Structure 1
Amino acid sequence: MASLSRVTRIRNPALFICDLQEKFRHAIHEFPKVITTTTKLLRSTAPLSIPIYITTQSTSKLGPTVPELTTLLSTPAIQKNIVANVDKTLFSMITPEINSLLPNAKDTPLDVLLVGIETHICVTQTTLDLLARGHRVYVIVDGVSSVNQEERGVAIARLRDAGAIVTTSESVLFEILGDARHEGFREVSGLVKEMKDETRGAVESLAKI
């Protein structure tokens, strides 16, 4: 029988942004496209009222979250949705602080939309920890990457086998909307149209796994 994570529609989305820091800008494969995808999802959190969890890895050494995202995170419409913004040494985003903020998966499992780096390290460990707690994870293929692009495919295959759903940013946005009568439809569909060229470029580069 298929696991619950493979058959359930997105009902309780949360955006997890993993370690998108300035130090990695010139090291990560297709980093600008990861930022583009994250920007689209982050802008969508306002009309869709999606909670946001953010981490950085050792900012004293690796620098802050990139300015493209911090600018958005400081806007009132998005800022109000931030549940956690945590600096960490763990590779997984599921630090004790974030773990304490997660809802009880038995009652209200999250549908985690996961973007960030690196796919085979922090993204993998975050996914496995969330799945182990009973949450569902949607690895956004056009929003994750690694220094070595070959690592992505290996990691994504492992995560799919573990029970994560591998999908695209546009797919999850329209699944969350569900209906053209949704109050956020006009804003989100307008954003998708605005960023259609960037989305095409990100999917063409990052969905080849």
Structure 2
Amino acid sequence: MNVLARLEPETTVFLMCDIQTRFRNSVHEFDAMVSTAAKMLAFAPILEIPVIATEQNPRALGPTVPELDLSPLGDLHLGTFPKTLFSMAIPPVLDALHARNTKAVVLFGIEAHVCVAQTALDLLSEGFAVHVLADGVSSANAQETPVALARLCQAGATVTTSEAAVFELMADSARPHFKAFSAAIKATQPSTRTALNALMPRSAL
């Protein structure tokens, strides 16, 4: 198992799991979860982090929601891959990860106890360090998420937040892109607060 403690931009990939139109009305606090995903896509070019997305059976469940347009990422968008397996650990995703010498992934999307959990477990078994965003995952039933995150912690994943992850990847305020990073932090503060309150209520901490 990979025990990489810190995220480093050169060896990290963002994984966006199955945030599709059909789930909009069935997943707990869907819009808050989408706002966190949008935040991570906004920070990807600033931090120069590649992004991989998947869609679960898109013929039946629809495409990725339009709010999460990956085209502005250009070459940082390594692909959006359809799947029937619940886990994102399908051959084209694994090939893309290995091609970039990836050591760690930052994982967000749905559902926390199904596709996200199985992805995390599979990637841990492949030797990747897995960081799951507690303010970036959800399930149809809200009670499933904390149970899934606790299980993933026990399995060796790191449960973190979007804010903690991007600051860890930035690491140094002397880096050239810090001005853009700081502006993005300020711009996303309201949605970050909303997502934390919706997906990580104090009563659950």
For this structure pair, what is the TM-score category when the shorter chain's length is used for normalisation? Answer: over 0.9
Q: 2:155 & 2:177 partners in 1: Cα distance?
A: 32
Q: Answer whether contact 1:109 1:136 (CA < 8 A) is retained.
A: no
Q: How big is the shift at 1:188?
A: 1.7
2:94 is the counterpart of 1:95:
no
Q: What does 1:61-76 align with in structure 2 at a 5 Å threshold?
A: 61-70=60-69, 73-75=70-72
Cα offsets for 1:132-164 (capped at 9, x unmatched): 011001100000000000000110000000000
Q: Under a length normalisation based on structure 1, what TM-score does the superposition of the two structures give?
A: 0.91
Q: Within the alignment, does 1:8 sit opposite 2:5 as a pair?
A: yes
Residue in 2 that maps onto 1:85:
80
With 180-189 and 33-42 compared, the bigger mean Cα shift is at 180-189
Identity %: 41
TM-score, normalised by the number of residues in structure 2: 0.93
Corresponding position of 1:164: 157
Residue pair 2:13, 2:97 contacting (<8 A) in 1 also: no
Structure 1 unmatched runs, 5+: none
User: 2:120 aligns to what?
Assistant: 127
User: 1:109/1:101 Cα in 2 relative to 1: closer, same or farther (>3 Å)?
Assistant: closer
- Is it true that 1:198 corresponds to 2:154 in the alignment? no
What letter matches 1:129 in structure 2? Answer: D
Unaligned runs of 5+ in 2: none
> Distance between the aligned counterparts of 1:90 and 1:4, measured in 2?
23
Displacement after TM superposition at 1:104 (Å) = 7.4
Moved over 2 A (4+): none
Q: 1:110 offset after TM fit, Å?
A: 2.2
**Residues matched between the structures, number:** 200
CA distances 1:79-117 after superposition (whole Å, capped 9, x unpaired): 210112100000000112212222279xx4422110000
Correspondence for 1:28: 27
